Structure 1
Amino acid sequence: MKNAVAYYRVSTDRQGKSGLGLQAQHQSVHLFSQLEGYQVIAEFVEIESAKKNHRPKLMAALLQCKKQKATLIIAKLDRLGRNVAFIANLMESKAEFRAVDNPHANPLMVHMLAAFAQHERELISTRTKEALQAAKRRGIKLGKHGREVESKKNLAAANQFAESMRPIIDELKAEGFESVRGICEELNQRGVKTFRNDGQQWHRTTVHRLIKRLNIN
């Protein structure tokens, strides 16, 4: 039976402590090992973001592979990382590895997957920065203080809209529309615009919130 070293990675300390994600990785690696004729002689758990290349547990796992002439087995290719330079260094270690989700992956395929993943991450980062800059140009305050300001503005706007709806709700009730369903259907029938004014129709949940906000019994 061939020797194998299992490597598991989770992104956050919370996931590491709770075991979230580790159990699934553990099960898939051990099932794969049994089917492929491997004996898992050591296991290493890394708690680190995929963006970072500092992986002491992975380095220890690779060293163990070298000493025991074992194969590194991981649950998913993205457990190794999404950085091309990091993957290149890993390939230079000449350690054999198998990925449960892609057991036939070769070094060229790994390089390509890492390149695409890194490119996608860079695009997301660029789009995020552009969105933040655009928000700043529109005068939107960012950060915790900005969220608090926007939240207060939204609450004030919602309250103001609710008050503008009070006469309409009172009129519908006077006409005999007492249930949330009845009021909802009548608002849509009369073409009364919603708070967002984006063409959406009224729903029972939004009518219920409106009545609750107005404290109408």
Structure 2
Amino acid sequence: MATCKCVIYYRVSTARQGSPGLGLEDQTKVVTDYLGDGAWRLVGEFTEIETVKSANSFVSRPELHRALEICKRKRATLIIANLGRLSRSVRFVNGLIEEGVDFKAADMPHADKFMIQAHAIMAEWERVQNSDRMKAALAAAKARGVVLGATGPANLRANIETRQKAAEAFAKSVAKVFAGFKAAGLTQRAMAEELNRLGITSTRGGQWNASQVGPVLKRLLRKPARR
């Protein structure tokens, strides 16, 4: 069996290290499972400590640049645990493709770099959609007289109502996806993992965990109140 050279690149955030799928231990397991068939020879391994500024900045990833240099020099493939740990920015992924280095996402073993690019486009689209929904909800709240950032019982009530409406709108937007998960008999943890794999962001624009899936399921099961 021919052996291919590879360089592993991990990215972790000290603020979110404990979140499912985001920690170094989780990424290591995914990559180890992917490389377990013996077809790869490791020639480099790098871990990036994420900062707010470097989250989607190609120039602010020194470890990534070191990994790419070795890939070019050794003609190796860059291995990442999943696309979300690289970036959810299409511009960032395009920049990596332009570097001329082959790369693979361990959670999408059969995807080539162009399929990964398409996946990044969908992930970015979903993030923009979530952002637009939130902006629309805030604009509607302001139009109803809610003073954003202000305190007091009246404004607190209005803000709660705004959040509830935004949550309802989000639940409706992913209703078909969750219906498919339920039909397949997935657990809440498995649903969270699948949502992350598909690049669908949570209500706050981040990755999912099992505790975030529960409230959405409850909203979808809740019968509308009679008027």
For this structure pair, what is the TM-score category when the shorter chain's length is used for normalisation?
A: 0.5 to 0.7
Displacement of 1:51: 5.8
Partner SS state of residue 6, structure 1: strand
SS in structure 2 of the partner of residue 35 of structure 1:
coil
User: Which residue in 2 is equivalent to 1:108?
Assistant: 114
- List runs of 5+ in structure 1 lacking aligned partners: 155-197, 201-217
Distance of 2:38 and 2:134 partners within structure 1: 43
- Using the TM superposition, give the Cα deviation of residue 13 of structure 1 relative to its aligned residue in structure 2, in angstroms: 2.4
Match in the other structure for 2:16: 15
Q: TM-score, normalised by structure 2?
A: 0.58
CA contact (8 A) 2:71 2:78 kept: yes
The separation in 2 between residues aligned to 1:136 and 1:106, in whole angstroms, is: 45
Q: Structure 1 residues 112 and 152 mapped into 2: Cα distance closer, same or farther (>3 Å)?
A: closer
> What does 1:183-202 correspond to in 2, within 5 Å?
none
Q: Which amino acid aligns with 2:71?
A: C
Contact 2:102 2:113 in 1 (8 A): no
Cα contact 1:3–1:41 (8 A) shared by 2: yes
Contact 1:51 1:82 in 2 (8 A): no
Segment drifting more, 27-36 vs 90-99: 27-36
Deviations 1:50-103 (A, max 9, x none): 962233322221112112222111111222212222211211111111211111
Structure of higher CA gyration radius: 1
Task: Give the distance between the partners of 2:38 and 2:16, measured in 1 at CA.
Answer: 29
Work out which structure has the larger RCO, using CA pairs closer than 8 Å and 6 or more positions apart in sequence: 2
Matching residue of 2:142? 136
CA distance in 1, matches of 2:156, 2:88: 40
SS of alignment partner, residue 33 of structure 2: helix
Summarize the alignment of residues 157-172 of structure 1 with structure 2, pairs less than 5 Å apart: none
Distance 2:18 2:108 in 1: 28
Deviations 1:101-132 (A, max 9, x none): 11121232122111111111111111111111
Q: In the alignment, which residue of structure 2 is the partner of 1:149?
A: 152
> Residue 83 of structure 1 aligns with which residue?
89
Which residues of structure 2 form unaligned runs of 5+? 158-223
TM-score, normalised with respect to structure 1: 0.60
Look up the SS of the partner of 1:3 in the other structure. Answer: strand
Query: Does the Cα contact within 8 Å between 2:56 and 2:92 map onto a contact in 1?
Result: no
Report the counterpart of residue 29 of structure 1 in structure 2: 31
- SS, match of residue 110 in structure 2: coil
Which of 31, 52, 59 aligns to 2:56? It is 52
Q: What is the number of equivalent residue pairs in this alignment? A: 153
Matched residue, 1:185: none
Classify 1:96/1:139 alpha carbon distance in 2 versus 1 (closer, same or farther; 3 Å): same
